[in-house]
Amino acid sequence: MLDRLTEFFFPKQVSTFASDIDNLYFFIFYSSVALFFIVVFGMVYLAVKYRHKKGEELKLTSSKDHSNLLESLFFIIPLILVSITFVWGIRSYLKMVIVPDDAIEIKVTGQSWFWTFDYPDGGTTLNELVVPSNQPIKLVLSSKDVLHSFFIPVMRSKMDALPNRYNVMWFDATQEGVYDIFCTEYCGTGHSQMGAKVIVMKPAQYEEWANELGSDDDSIPLDELGAKLYTKKACNTCHTLDGSSLVGPSYLQTSQMWGQERVFDDGTSTVIDENYIRSSILEPQTQIVAGYQSVMPTYQGLLNDRELDALIAFLKSLNEDSQI
Amino acid sequence: MSNHNPDAPKHLKHYFANVDQQYETSKFAMWAFILTEVLTFAGLFVAYIVFRSWYPDMFVDAHKLLDVNKGLMNTIVLITSSLTMALAIWAIQKNNRKLSLIMLIATFVFAFCFLGIKFLEYSHKFEVGQLPGEYYSYMGPEVVHLNNPHIFFSIYFIMTGLHGLHVAIGMGLIAWLIYATYKGNLSSEYYTPMEMIGIFWHLVDLIWIYLFPLFYLIG
Amino acid sequence: MSENIKQNYLNHPKGLMSWLLTLDHKRIGLMYLVSGILFFFLGGLLALVMRMELAAPGNDFISNDTYNNVYTLHGAIMIFLFIIPAIPGALGNILLPLMVGAKDVAFPRLNLASFYIYSFGALFAMYTIINGGVDTGWTFYTPYSTQSTSNVVPMTLGIFIIGFSSILTGLNFIATVHKMRIPGLTWYKLPLFVWALYGTSLVQITATPVLAITMVLLMLERFLGIGIFDPALGGDPVLYQHFFWFYSHPAVYIMILPAFGIISEIIPVHSRKKIWGYKFIAYSTLSIAFIGFLVWGHHMFTSGQSVFSQIVFSFITYFVGIPTGVKIFSWILTMYKGQVSFTPPMLYALSFLFLFTIGGLTGIFLGAVALDIHLHDTYFVVAHFHYVMQGGTIVAFLGGLHHWWPKSFGVMYNQTIAKICAFGVFLGFNGTFFPQFLLGLRGMPRRYATYSEEFVELHSYSTFWSGILGISIFIAIMNLFWSFIKKNKVDPGSNPWGGMTLEWTHTSSPPHPHNFEEEPVLEHGPYDYDKVIVEKTYK
């Protein structure tokens, strides 16, 4: 019964402290339902019982306006309930802030509008947090621009990413799977798209993955690598492939304009070619396409030369019928 | 105004029962307003405390760039003006309009001196670039090693600026008092506006008495 | 009766200038009421635009940027232009002097000035809309608000100006309550609405200056880059949150305390019963106002405060909950052995008790730190504060309007339509916001223009009911104004519900230009239904 209810109210319980928090929820929930029924039942009962019946004379009513017994009850019962809630809330909270010593530390950086994850053995991923199961993971959060907040519903955990200091959160995932991450601190145009995934793997699988991380995807053709990077590096948050505009111009539009002039908001223009694409990825603030805002972060250091080539090849390959 | 008593004094508003009630109400509201003022500055004092606790050394070193003599002079000027203000009220209570007028003018002049000295201080800071936030450009030998000295000047300019604005508003009010006293609208019968503005003026003085040591005398 | 209607504050004196320059608190209150309701409609329209966008997961209706503007303006208009100024400004202005037996508020000129300052501030907010909106959220969190290219400055300037209006109204009310009561009207004989306005005013004059200074710092940050909130210049964006919530949490009580006052009037009158626990309700109003200043940190449980702060803020937060709970029980017990009539105001009051209880209880979930970490900035919070602000304040406001409408304007609205609308508001409200609790628990973050498929069912459900809510509120208010316009006015008499406070017993409907034809003499307490039978003049 409780499991069914938990499924109804909450996302999956994946972290070690999730069930504790859900139990706290149910404690407050049942106490609240009880109090709520007392209130509503009392209200309806008194209102109906003492309703002014048709034809009844107006009369002097009772002067009763207090009852020490009732008032003490109304005071003491909620006091007991909130005291339990308070202590429980704090105890569970302390478990959430004390990070185990053997935790793997991953650096999380928020930036409008994607997340970057730096792993302890080198290597970086964008919008994909890969972690082993049954192993405490410590996340050190910060932001490169405005406030963001890192929220993993299945872990029941959340922490703001601030531009001037580091915040810490941790979790220990108990089940393998792919789960949602949301940004919960409003950060502008792309706020609702600033999602990411946490991928929980078996430890052995994670080891393998971690070893491969950083090694180049040399084997696959450039345009296919570009297609992978398009989602992996979060280009898709702002640039579509179907010609519609989001925060930035669509790749399809740029591809179709290949070799033609592009006009910028300062009135200058340039021909769309490989050099233009490369500089607009690495130095996006220098040339802003007319009608768009200067919001794209630089990818300097996040893409190597082969990856840049791959993205350019991918963009050139696009046409109306492209399917990703 | 149907039920206004024809014998009531001119300054009594029709919705008050009597002069006492009207006076008490004004005085009460003035003190409530003083509470509001105190909380306005309290917000800034909190900002001061926060930043001072983050950058204790910077605050101590940066404060040396302020001119203590001018600050001290301003303190004396303002305390004196508080005294003349109090004397003006005392004089009007004794129905000595002439003395009251002189004292009000003296208060006005002192307030003007305060702003004048403040102007000299500010203009020097503008010249050398000891300015708030990103406009800060002063790179003298005593500050090059400092961590974020512009923060000190941000807070300095906001707090003394807001205080200066109060002084200016106070001057406007005192000018009006001078006019009203000169016209003979105020007397020992009715001097509520002068008393209220007096309270305000003492508050402006009091805030400066906190600002002076917090900016000029730390370390 | 007809003689009373001959000369009242609505028709005497005549002429546009006599309205624009009026010093009469009732006329000023009416001007606040009309402007407040216009802003309420505007804010409500924006809410419906948001619900339209959220009916389906993608950007089907409006773009992200438009959505961000719409939700920011919805919040800012509802809070700063409607709830905070309009409820004390409208109902408070009309009723407070009547309730204490005064001819006017303590400073009528200041009162008029407050209204114009409010209008002036509102102009800036309107300019913001015409000029393309503002997209920071009504909280204006730095550093986003210092970088955004939208109209942050006009909006914050508008709020800053409206803040002055709030402070001046607060000063005026406090002075009125302290000094303008008629002889014999001691503190414990004051109607509880007066206590509530008193508590509200105290918060207004103590919290609003901090908001004003925060808005000034934000504007200076944008104009001059002073660096107080800018991490790049050694400042701290979290400091902004402390400043902002130090005002904005007490502001929650500016919004809810008048509602408590309205409910404390409606229930005893329509139950014809002495109110339960008068002194408790009066004192808890003040203690809630005070404790409200100490809990701002619970808005920042995920900002990385020290563990100690988290514990302290969580602890103090519960001290708001308990007196509020006892208040709810007191209102319910007031009906015990009374004569309860299910009039439109009473239906709103009962609806308030139902909705506000949910709003209050869900606050307990959010006060528990460990659980708040999961729920923070999700739809659970959205649902919670709408249950408090709309289910609480606005439902009480509608109840208050229906309660005092016949007194203020000397006309009675259509009772049947009013009752149907009260049900419509109740159902529409629950239908709109209850699903949002579930959305939040399942992890749906707030301020999202788009969302993933899993949330679509609850969102579309919420959108459907929001339409019913909107229509019900609109008809309810139109029903009121219609009674004012139509020709064959129903005369409710001076005391339609049989109230015992001075505005019912000692003046006509609508009241005399100077409130009372002769100085009122207090004959009984505000709720002495056990001592005196007061006849109803309606039905």
The closest of B157, B98, B167, B101 to B125, measured between CA atoms, is B157
Best of B36, B41, B48, B49 to disrupt the C interface by mutation (most C CBs within 10 Å)?
A: B36
Helix (H, G, I), strand (E, B) or coil at C424: helix
- Quick: pLDDT tens for C417-467: 999 999 999 999 999 999 999 999 999 999 999 999 999 999 999 999 999
Residue C149 contacts A where some CB pair is shorter than 8 Å: yes
CA distance A220 to chain C (A): 32
Mean pLDDT for chain C overall: 93
Tokens coding C383? 């649902």
Decide if B43 and C209 are in contact by the 8 Å CB cutoff.
yes
Residue B33 contacts C where some CB pair is shorter than 8 Å: yes
Nearest by CB: A52 against C339, C358, C450? C339
Helix (H, G, I), strand (E, B) or coil at C123: helix
- Quick: pLDDT tens for C100-120: 999 999 999 999 999 999 999
Whether there are 3 or more C-beta pairs closer than 8 Å between C and A is: yes
Decide if C340 and A50 are in contact by the 8 Å CB cutoff.
yes
Decide if C179 and B21 are in contact by the 8 Å CB cutoff.
yes
Which residues, in sequence order, are CB contacts of B183 under 8 Å at separation 6+?
A: none
Helix (H, G, I), strand (E, B) or coil at A179: strand
Cα dist from C347 to C196, C275, C341, whole Å: 21, 17, 9
- Quick: pLDDT tens for C222-270: 988 888 898 888 888 999 999 999 999 999 999 999 999 999 999 999 9
How far apart, in whole angstroms, are the C-alpha atoms of residue B213 and residue B74?
Answer: 12
- Same domain, yes or no: A136 and A39: no
Choose one of A192, A212, A232: the last residue of a domain. Answer: A212
Q: What is the mean pLDDT of residues A145-169?
A: 93
Mean pLDDT for chain A overall: 88
Torsion of Cα atoms, C280 then C285 then C286 then C291, to 10° = 110
Which of these ranges, A174-183, B11-20, C506-515, has the smallest mean pLDDT?
Answer: B11-20
Evaluate whether A127 touches A114 at the Cβ level (below 8 Å): yes
Whether residue A21 lies inside any domain: the answer is: yes
Phi, psi of A93 (to 5 degrees): -65, -40
- Quick: pLDDT tens for A212-244: 776 656 667 777 888 888 877 888 888 888 878
Cα dist from C539 to C116, C345, C484, C527, whole Å: 40, 15, 19, 21
Cα dist from B44 to B161, C71, C205, whole Å: 12, 30, 17
User: Which residues in chain C are closer than 8 Å to A246, comparing Cβ atoms?
Assistant: 64
The closest of A262, A239, A251 to A314, measured between CA atoms, is A251
Best of C281, C343, C430, C448 to disrupt the A interface by mutation (most A CBs within 10 Å)?
A: C448
CATH classification at residue A190 = 2.60.40.420
Q: Which long-range contacts (CB under 8 A, 24 or more apart) does C357-360 make?
A: C357/A35, C357/A36, C357/A39, C357/A40, C357/C328, C358/A36, C358/C387, C358/C391, C359/C384, C359/C385, C359/C386, C359/C387, C359/C388, C359/C391, C359/C392, C360/C321, C360/C324, C360/C325, C360/C328, C360/C388
Q: Give A 198-257 residues with CB within 8 A of chain C.
A: 246-247
Report the number of distinct structural domains present in chain A. Answer: 3
Torsion over CA: C371, C376, C380, C383 (sign) = positive
Helix (H, G, I), strand (E, B) or coil at C523: coil
Name the band, by pLDDT with cuts 50, 70 and 90, for residue C216: very high
Q: Give C 30-49 residues with CB within 8 A of chain A.
A: none
Cα dist from B219 to A198, B58, B60, B215, C433, whole Å: 51, 10, 5, 10, 56
Helix (H, G, I), strand (E, B) or coil at A106: strand
pLDDT at C3: 46
Phi, psi of C247 (to 5 degrees): -85, -50
Choose one of A183, A212, A241: the last residue of a domain. Answer: A212
Residues in chain C, total: 539
Q: Look at residue C185 and tell me whether its pLDDT is greater than 80.
A: yes
Residue B57 contacts C where some CB pair is shorter than 8 Å: no
Whether there are 3 or more C-beta pairs closer than 8 Å between B and C is: yes
Q: What is the mean pLDDT of residues A98-124?
A: 90
The closest of A11, A37, A39 to A25, measured between CA atoms, is A11
What is the distance between the terminal CA atoms of chain C, rounded to a whole angstrom? 16
Evaluate whether C30 touches C408 at the Cβ level (below 8 Å): yes
How far apart, in whole angstroms, are the C-alpha atoms of residue C71 and residue B12?
Answer: 49
Name the band, by pLDDT with cuts 50, 70 and 90, for residue A166: very high
pLDDT at A1: 58
Q: Look at residue B12 and tell me whether its pLDDT is greater than 70.
A: yes
Phi, psi of A126 (to 5 degrees): -115, 130
Name the band, by pLDDT with cuts 50, 70 and 90, for residue A13: very high
pLDDT at A322: 63
Q: What is the mean pLDDT of residues C346-366?
A: 96
- Quick: pLDDT tens for C23-45: 999 999 999 999 999 999 999 99
Per-residue DSSP letter, B140? -
Q: Look at residue C170 and tell me whether its pLDDT is greater than 60.
A: yes
Q: Look at residue A324 and tell me whether its pLDDT is greater than 60.
A: no
Tokens coding C303? 């900002």
How far apart, in whole angstroms, are the C-alpha atoms of residue C373 and residue C11?
Answer: 57
- Quick: pLDDT tens for A274-290: 888 888 888 888 888 88
Residue of C nearest to A91 (CA): C370
Cα dist from A98 to A13, A211, C367, whole Å: 20, 29, 20
Between C7 and C187, residue with greater pLDDT: C187
Per-residue DSSP letter, B143? T
Residue A41 contacts C where some CB pair is shorter than 8 Å: no
Tokens coding A322? 């492209």
How far apart, in whole angstroms, are the C-alpha atoms of residue C187 and residue C279?
Answer: 10
Give the range of the structural domain holding residue A190, as residue numbers without chain letter.
Answer: 104-212
Bridge partners (DSSP) listed for residue A263: A269
Q: What is the mean pLDDT of residues A63-75?
A: 89
Q: What is the mean pLDDT of residues B23-47?
A: 93
- Same domain, yes or no: A187 and A238: no
Evaluate whether B75 touches B208 at the Cβ level (below 8 Å): yes
- Quick: pLDDT tens for C153-163: 999 999 999 99
Residue of C nearest to B15 (CA): C103
Best of A13, A24, A80, A86 to disrupt the C interface by mutation (most C CBs within 10 Å)?
A: A86
Best of B26, B33, B154 to disrupt the C interface by mutation (most C CBs within 10 Å)?
A: B154
How far apart, in whole angstroms, are the C-alpha atoms of residue C492 and residue A320?
Answer: 71
User: Which residues in chain B are closer than 8 Å to C210, comparing Cβ atoms?
Assistant: 39-40, 42-43
How far apart, in whole angstroms, are the C-alpha atoms of residue A266 and residue A276?
Answer: 16
Decide if A28 and C368 are in contact by the 8 Å CB cutoff.
yes
How far apart, in whole angstroms, are the C-alpha atoms of residue C114 and residue B185?
Answer: 26
Residue C537 contacts A where some CB pair is shorter than 8 Å: no
Cα dist from A262 to A235, A275, A288, A295, C519, whole Å: 20, 13, 10, 18, 79
Nearest by CB: B28 against C179, C236, C243? C179
Whether residue A60 lies inside any domain: the answer is: no
- Same domain, yes or no: A304 and A261: yes
Evaluate whether A289 touches A265 at the Cβ level (below 8 Å): yes
- The CB density around residue A306, as the number of other CB atoms within 10 Å, is 13
Bridge partners (DSSP) listed for residue C124: none
Which residues, in sequence order, are CB contacts of B69 under 8 Å at separation 6+?
A: none
Torsion over CA: A283, A287, A288, A294 (sign) = positive
Residue B18 contacts C where some CB pair is shorter than 8 Å: no
Helix (H, G, I), strand (E, B) or coil at A124: strand
Residue A291 contacts C where some CB pair is shorter than 8 Å: no
Name the band, by pLDDT with cuts 50, 70 and 90, for residue B9: confident
pLDDT at C206: 93
Whether residue A217 lies inside any domain: the answer is: no
* ipTM of the prediction: 0.91
Whether residue A55 lies inside any domain: the answer is: no
Residue B28 contacts C where some CB pair is shorter than 8 Å: yes
Per-residue DSSP letter, B134? G
Residue C354 contacts A where some CB pair is shorter than 8 Å: yes
- Quick: pLDDT tens for B89-120: 999 999 999 999 999 999 999 999 999 999 99
Q: Look at residue A272 and tell me whether its pLDDT is greater than 70.
A: yes
CA angle at C324 for the pair C318 and C329, rounded to the nearest 5° = 130
C2-505 is classed in which CATH architecture? Up-down Bundle (1.20)
Q: Look at residue C2 and tell me whether its pLDDT is greater than 50.
A: no
In chain B the domains, ranked by start, together with CATH numbers, are 19-216 (1.20.120.80)
Buried b (16+ CB within 10 A) or exposed e, B209-219: eebbebbbeee
Nearest by CB: C175 against B29, B43, B155? B29
CA distance A198 to chain C (A): 15
Q: Look at residue C310 and tell me whether its pLDDT is greater than 50.
A: yes
pLDDT at B168: 96
Which of these ranges, B122-136, C202-216, C514-528, has the smallest mean pLDDT?
Answer: B122-136
Choose one of A212, A230, A262: the last residue of a domain. Answer: A212
User: Which residues in chain B are closer than 8 Å to C217, comparing Cβ atoms?
Assistant: 47, 158
